Structure 1
């Protein structure tokens, strides 16, 4: 899952939100030096990624991509699933999407000093440009996939990924609708066991 889902699946506090986003920025980071609630957020992020990456429905999406894109299927699904979460927010949350975004941005900014520099830059851009709202529009999904591709240190086809997503839009949507409730159950179970 991408930024929106990781924030949605965090506990409603600044440490958990920070840790759940920090899962993508841990390279070279001394995780043990972080406050325990942030460490738990990182663990939650990793549990979500493992569950998602190994889920049969998500893995089957690979077959709907051109051969040169199949190894990036997980990345594409993560970003596209955030699109569907943003579009169908009211199906999964009683909190208004606008309120969730504002609250998340405010809470993340209170912990910015604890974030690695690369994450600080990303969070500042996310909050000033309201990235989470942008997930509602496919053009922004295209931009997000392009941005991920440009940050990779090797040539990749992510700049073309929106084309097969558009062609298979209903398949991605139905996969998300079937998969996401299972992910919610998984996260609840992990949180109960970790409590």
Structure 2
């Protein structure tokens, strides 16, 4: 917790929000239903893989939830990350700048490009894993995963109002 306390206040709020989001997802029935699909491919890294795969389905379904085009949103995120990278711990600044340089968010929008992101995640893993082995599972279970993603994300959209409401201590 000391690492978080040392962060810029806005960055800290983002980390806290992201942790709430992760906890909500981990407890949601749709997430629990999707997770076993990826365990044979990546074992203990299935939750990490699923988080990345959910980003793919978010990009794929973006216009269902938002009016701003995904490309414009991703450009705004890249700009914000570059402007604020110096506020982050040294240990992740380079990683964040690589995300911007390699345009990871744009790569989430199709499976061919996702291979790049998944391959890069292989390098971050502490144990031997090949995240690209999840791609055949995504293809095989695409319709089911998409349906479960939509259920999960609709629940997130509904719940985020509670997370961001100052009356709830946020």
Query: TM above 0.5, one fold?
Result: yes
Of residues 117, 129, 133, the one that matches 1:144 is 117
Give the structure 2 partner of residue 181 of structure 1.
Answer: 154
1:111 match: secondary structure: helix
Give the structure 1 partner of residue 13 of structure 2.
Answer: 40
- Which has more helix, going by share of residues? 2
Which 5+ residue runs of structure 1 have no aligned equivalent?
1-25
Following superposition, which runs of at least 4 residues in structure 1 exceed 6 angstroms of deviation? none
Equivalences for residues 9-24 of structure 1 within 5 A? none
Which 5+ residue runs of structure 2 have no aligned equivalent?
none
Of residues 105, 117, 123, the one that matches 2:90 is 117
Equivalences for residues 43-58 of structure 1 within 5 A? 43-58=16-31
Give the structure 2 partner of residue 21 of structure 1.
Answer: none
Larger relative contact order (C-alpha < 8 A, sep ≥ 6)?
A: 2
Count how many residue pairs are aligned between Structure 1 and Structure 2.
Answer: 168
Structure 1's 109 and 65: CA in aligned 2 closer, same or farther, altered over 3 A? closer
CA offsets, 1:28-79, max 9 Å, x none?
x632122322211111010011111121111112333454635333222211
Give the structure 2 partner of residue 20 of structure 1.
Answer: none
- Further displaced range: 29-38 or 182-191: 29-38
CA offsets, 1:85-129, max 9 Å, x none?
112211111222222122211122111111122422122222222
1:136 match: secondary structure: coil
Q: CA RMSD in A?
A: 2.1
Asked if 1:155 corresponds to 2:128, the answer is yes
CA–CA distance in 2 between the matches of 1:67 and 1:102? 35
Structure 1's 170 and 114: CA in aligned 2 closer, same or farther, altered over 3 A? same
TM, length-normalised to structure 1: 0.76
